[in-house]
Amino acid sequence: MEKVSKIINLLTIVIGLAVAVLAYLLITAVDQLRKDTSAKQSELDAAITTLAKTEEKSAADKAALSATKSGLADDLSDHRREVTRLKDELPVSEAKLEGLKKQQEEARAEAEKKKGEVTGLQTEIAGVQEAAGGLQAANPTALAAVEQMRNEIREQNDLAVEIQSELRDYKQETAHLKVHFASILKELQQDARDPSWITIGKSVNTRIERLSMETGMLVLPLGITHGMREDMKFIVSKKGKRVGQLVIKETGLAHSVANIVPLIGNPTKLRERDDIEITGF
C-alpha cells in the first residue's frame, strides 16, 4: 500500500511538472502570437498609408496630364493660326516684291536715259572745246570769251560727274533693296512651309518638366511645333553658366525627351522645374 502511495505521489509530481511545462509553453506561444499580430498590424497600417499616398499621386498625375493636354491643344491652335496668317501675308509680300521689281526696271530705264543725256552732253562739250580752241587761234581778242566757255565746260563736267555718281548710288541702293526683299520673301515662304523657330546657334529659354539623373534623361516643353527634331544637340546653361549638353532622342508635338551627355560640364546641378537656356550647335 505504501508502495502504491509513492507511485501515486510520483505520478502527481510528474503530472504537475508536465502541466507547469505545458502552461509555460502556452504562455510563451501566446506572447509570440501577440508580437506577430502587432507586427502584422503595423505592416497593414503601413500598406494602407502607402496605398493612400499612391492614390493621391495618381490623382495629381491625372490632373497634370489633363493640364498638359489642354496646353498642347492651345499650342497647336496658336500654331495653326500663325501658319494661316503667314500664308495670308505671303501674297501681299509677293505683290510688294513685284512692285519693287517694277520700280527697279523703271530706275534702270531712267539711268539709261540719263547715261545717254550725259554722253550727248560730253559730245557737245567736246565740240565747244574744239570751237573754243579754233576761236583762240583765230582771234586773240576772244580769250575772255573762251575762258568763260572753259569755266562753263568745267561746270558741265562737274555736273556730269555728279550725275554719274548719283546713278551709281541709285543702282547700288536698288540692288540692296532687291536683295533685302528677296531675303524677306524667302523667309516668309520658309515660315509658311515650316514655322519652326529653334535653329542652330539660337538660344531659347525653357524649363525642365521631368528629370531623372539615374537614367540621365529629361523632358522639355518644346516639340515638333517649335522646331525640335531627333538627334539635335544643345548646350545647356543655368543662370548664365554652362552645365552640360543634351541630345534629343524623342519628339512630340509640344514636348521632347533628351539624353544628358555624360562627362561634359556639371549636369548634377540641374533640378526638375529649373529654368534653363538651351543653344543649338
Assessment of whether the complete model's pTM goes beyond 0.95: no
| CA quadruple 210, 211, 215, 217: dihedral sign | positive
Segment 64-88, tens digit of pLDDT: 667 666 666 676 677 677 767 767 7
Where residue 223 falls among pLDDT bands split at 50, 70, 90?
very high
DSSP annotation of 250 = E
Q: Give the contacts of 223 (CB within 8 A, at least 6 positions apart).
A: 251, 252, 253, 254, 255, 256
Overall average pLDDT of the 117-126 stretch: 71
Rounded distance, CA 235 to CA 265, Å?
10
Overall average pLDDT of the 109-134 stretch: 70
Residues shown for the chain: 281
Q: Output 256 or 180, whichever has higher pLDDT.
A: 256
* Average pLDDT value for the chain: 76
Determine the pLDDT at residue 244. 96
Rounded distance, CA 147 to CA 140, Å?
12
Q: Give the contacts of 280 (CB within 8 A, at least 6 positions apart).
A: 198, 199, 200, 201, 202, 232, 233, 234
Kindly tell me if the per-residue pLDDT of 63 is higher than 60: yes
Torsion, Cα 90 91 95 98, to 10 degrees, reads: 70
Our measurement of the distance from residue 179's CA atom to the centroid of its chain's CA atoms, rounded to an integer in Å, reads: 27
Determine the pLDDT at residue 248. 96
Rounded distance, CA 26 to CA 19, Å?
10
Distances, alpha carbon 256 to alpha carbons 217, 231, 264, 270, in Å: 10, 11, 21, 17
Determine the pLDDT at residue 25. 81
Kindly tell me if the per-residue pLDDT of 18 is higher than 50: yes
Judge contact between 195 and 224, C-beta under 8 A: no
- Give me the residue spans of the domains in the chain: 90-193, 203-280
203-280, CATH topology level: Thrombin, subunit H (2.40.10)
Segment 135-177, tens digit of pLDDT: 555 555 556 666 777 776 777 677 666 666 656 655 665 565 4
Which cell numbers hold the place of 191? 515660315
Helix ranges (H only) for the chain are 2-138, 143-193
As a whole-number percent, the residues of the chain with pLDDT over 70 amount to 68
User: How would you classify the pairing of strands 217-220 and 233-238?
Assistant: unpaired
Which cell numbers hold the place of 31? 506572447
